Amino acid sequence: MNFLFVLIPLLICSPLASAGQSSAFQNPDPHWGAQFFREKRFSFDHSTGCISCHAPEFAFADGRRKSPVPRRTEDSVSTTLRNSPGLLDAQILPAQHWDGEFVDPTELVMRGLTGRNFGWLPHEADVAQERVFQVVTRSKSYAAWIQKQPKRDRAALLKNVSSDISSYLKTLRMKRDPKGDFSGSAYDRFLHLNHLPKSPHANESRLSYINRLSSAIFTLESPQWILDSSPSAGFSSRELAGLRTFLDRASANCVACHEPPEFTDHLFHNVGVSQTEYDSLHGIDAMRDFTTPSFASLLGTTPPPALTAEHDHRDYADLGAWHVLSQFAAKGREIPTFWRDLLCKLHSNCGQSEMEATAWASFKTPTLRNISRTAPYFHNGQAATLEDVVRFYRRSGALAAMGRIRNADPELVPVRMETGRIDDLAAFLRGLEEPAEE
């Protein structure tokens, strides 16, 4: 059985979260953060670092369905719970991880360094903290870093290592021109060459920009092409056909959630990925009968954790944001405004019951920029290629229209796409790739 319990650091004032917060800490240094990002001695068996799951050649993903983690005899965990997402521009997103578990990037790093992904068991946070302390204080390569530390106790050093890594992650940005517009992909160059709008005007709504861009794309005559033999470096008639499909709300409806120019709406949606995985193991429409406790009944209890669906366990499922919000319900706490903003944008009336329903099996919308470098796809890595992703949405949209996707996002219902458009759409998505830097 391979699973990882979801940790909810936002809910518990743990020693790691609060230690040393009243002390003075160094200013974060991305130079040192880059070195710590590659450091594998922080892990239980010296086999794993941040870079193990977030490699530059994969746009800081890792090319695997789920990432291997250090083995321990005390449990049967062998992989991460979910697919490792790319990190380029990740820190401009309002929440981190597929389920939005973290809003503080430094806290995310701290939990990673002391958590199961680095081989540490739930009760070994202090041991993991000690490991970080020993590595940074005994290694000659970190001597200059140690000399800069205003406080050298274990908690402070862990916090500063994590802060430096977080500051390094902020430097992992996609290419932009002097005006701040994206500029690194064939799509961006195509917009520039044809004098098409790259981003919203000042004070222009995102919807207004999308409508303006769509109008320009659909009425474009005699376009100038980006010609290149590489599959992701050119932008010609096939990519333009795919872009038009992408923008067509009566067809693919991709633009409803993957809003340009970032190609994400930063929100959470249920497009049927968890249900597809669950039903493949337990039978067609099986997840419609999957039972979860109401938030009202969770007070004072331990909510069910996120688990990878397994054939021998009908009570195992990954419900994404629902698991995060259930922790608030268990503690008798109000769901924070942050979550209300993310979950209620699609609802005019949104109380706790509406948020509970919206969060169920919902996951963060990833950016589509550089998506050709971050296969496999979805939170569980179930789609191997971009063509597989498009076919999934075609099928999932049809099921949603028949009412067969439990808690389906409303934007999934209009998805209609002819088979002949699949390759065009995949070609456009490849046109969002930036060449990897040497």
Block means of pLDDT (10 residues each) for the chain, length 438 residues? 37 38 69 98 98 97 97 96 96 89 94 98 97 97 95 94 97 96 96 98 96 98 88 89 97 96 95 97 96 93 94 96 94 86 73 87 96 97 98 96 95 92 96 84
Amino acid letter, residue 97: H
Query: Partners of 363 in the beta sheet?
Result: 269
Q: Are residues 162 and 274 in the same domain?
A: no
Let me know if residue 360 belongs to a domain: yes
Let me know if residue 69 belongs to a domain: yes
Residue 334's pLDDT is 87
Domain boundary among 169, 188, 218: 169
Residue 10's pLDDT is 33
**Torsion sign (Cα): 339, 341, 342, 348:** positive
Let me know if residue 252 belongs to a domain: no
Please tell me the total count of domains within the chain: 2
Let me know if residue 95 belongs to a domain: yes
C-alpha torsion 88→93→99→105, nearest 10: 80
Q: Are residues 22 and 147 in the same domain?
A: yes
Residue 438's pLDDT is 54
Q: What is the rounded distance in angstroms from the CA atom of residue 326 to the CA atom of residue 251?
A: 35
Q: What is the rounded distance in angstroms from the CA atom of residue 398 to the CA atom of residue 96?
A: 30
Q: Are residues 21 and 165 in the same domain?
A: yes
Contact status, residue 11 vs residue 328, Cβ threshold 8 Å = yes
Contact status, residue 198 vs residue 182, Cβ threshold 8 Å = yes
Q: What is the rounded distance in angstroms from the CA atom of residue 381 to the CA atom of residue 403?
A: 25
Residue 277's pLDDT is 97
Let me know if residue 260 belongs to a domain: no
pTM surpassing 0.85? Answer: yes
Domain boundary among 123, 149, 169: 169
Let me know if residue 424 belongs to a domain: no
State the residue range of the domain holding 309. 268-364
Q: What is the rounded distance in angstroms from the CA atom of residue 83 to the CA atom of residue 65?
A: 6
DSSP assignment letter at 374: S
Contact status, residue 276 vs residue 396, Cβ threshold 8 Å = yes
Residue 243's pLDDT is 98
Q: What is the rounded distance in angstroms from the CA atom of residue 32 to the CA atom of residue 144?
A: 10
Residue 25's pLDDT is 60
DSSP notation for 239-292: HHHHHHHHH-TTTT-GGGTS-TTTT--S-EE--SHHHHHHHHHH-TTGGGG---
Q: What is the rounded distance in angstroms from the CA atom of residue 279 to the CA atom of residue 309?
A: 9
Let me know if residue 239 belongs to a domain: no
Residue 192's pLDDT is 97
Domain boundary among 336, 364, 392: 364
Query: Partners of 268 in the beta sheet?
Result: 364
For residue 58, the domain's CATH number is: 1.10.760.10
End-to-end CA distance of the chain: 39
Q: What is the rounded distance in angstroms from the CA atom of residue 163 to the CA atom of residue 126?
A: 18
Q: Are residues 160 and 281 in the same domain?
A: no
Let me know if residue 142 belongs to a domain: yes
Q: Are residues 272 and 163 in the same domain?
A: no
Task: For the beta carbon of residue 150, count every other beta carbon within 10 angstroms.
Answer: 10
Give SS3 for 38. Answer: helix
Longest CA–CA separation in the chain, Å? 65
